[in-house]
A and B are shown apart, each in its own frame.
Chain A
Amino acid sequence: MPGSIACGRCGASLRLAATTIGIHPPRAGALTKQWRRWVPLRNRYFYAVRDLFRKPLLDVSAFFLRGVDLRELSSAVIVRMIVPGWAQIYRGQARRGQLFLFPWLVLLFLSVLCLGSTASGWCFGFLISLHAMSIVDLFARFEGVERGRRLVVCFLVLALVSMPYILVVTQSARVISVRQFLADAEPFSSGDVVLYRPRAYLNSGPQIGDVVIYRNRPYRTGGVNGLYVYDGEWVNRIVAAGGSHVVWKNSQLTVDGQPAEHLPLNASRLPAAMEVLVPADCFCILPTTIPNPGAPLDKQSSEALSIVDRTSILGKVIVRNYPPHRWWWLN
């Protein structure tokens, strides 16, 4: 019939001549074909497994999502659940979406800003709760579904959404680690948090001038009030490499007779004079940030604690990020 867009007999499109149709098929590149030959991800076994699990999965989802208009729960909505409020904005509830999105962004910023502190933990907890609330809110909009089923679906989706969080936390821990100071050690105070890169020295060795986190060899010394043991992780600057001769005299630090380019973080705590010959494969890190419970470190203790071997250096410190008002880039 005139005006029809398809053939009444076979259904073929009658608009072909007038419409713009691409007639060049998609092509696979040589690399793609090679890849498919070597790694046949989609082969008959893949489809056999898919067919095996398809029906049970469909049955389960049909049971839980009975009554849900699946057009509303499209893949576009599910993907957008990854950011709280995004799915609501996508579904046209912009105001509601913003109510979730903006607090979530603020909490995310605060938790990153104070990373490693208790405050960051609180922020992160609130952040996850807010995310859960946004998902529950989304499902609460699906009318006609029993409350129990709605809850189960919420938990299932929440479990899916929590995957990126777990991934981010586990992966970021490999890149950036956190240390919190438990005692005052000028210029750091109890409660300060520093971030450091544990993998900074995987490919190259530590450099003179780097502020690093290191663990000293346990050192015992007898004081007036008893026996002191210096053992722990400290943060300070490398002042000299192995084989150097380091001298601190008249408030001047020299390395191999030349004035040192880099001073330790709290040079005022050094004894009046000291001298260190750094063995090979070791670094000189002067112990000016080690807390001293009794008397100040004497010359002998300072010299002994200044030598740190390569394996004792745990990573390169980036920043003191907590508390925010004491923010300090250390490298």
Chain B
Amino acid sequence: MNKPFQAKADFEHIFKEYFEPLCNFINKYINNWEDSREIVQNTFFKVWQNREKIEVKTTTKNYLFQASKNTMIDHIRRSKKEVELSEGAIERIESQAIDIKIVDDAMIKKAIIKGMSHLKPKNRKIFELNKFEGLTYKEIAQHLNISERAVEDNIARALKSLSTYINRDDNFYK
């Protein structure tokens, strides 16, 4: 039997690992960050209330993403947000299985953010300029007065380091 939410210490660990990617996952549907946070809070609250009874048959990750989606559907129906999503759209969301790629995308992004602190300073800076600021390799090269080839090398090394970090991070696979 897999009852991962029973002990408070375990629950805290799970909360801290999944809270942020769950908020981003829900936000993809409803595009409202505050409501997304509240939905995820409510999800964890319900899980905490039922922690003795919940038995996870798949993975903790899958359980939490599905539970959050269900809470989101309830939230949409109850708070009369149908003006933004039609009833037909709500039913479609409800009936569709969660795309595992979306789940993994949220988790990978969380891992990238966390892993960036382990990058070498130059790799990190160039990675940020490209991925967060949206600068092209040419623009970064001009900005830092280096070659485009050097920019490419730094990005590639950053991706390799992050890949190593993510593959080592146990939480991603749960």
Q: Do A and B bind each other?
A: no
B-to-A contact residues, CB < 8 Å: none
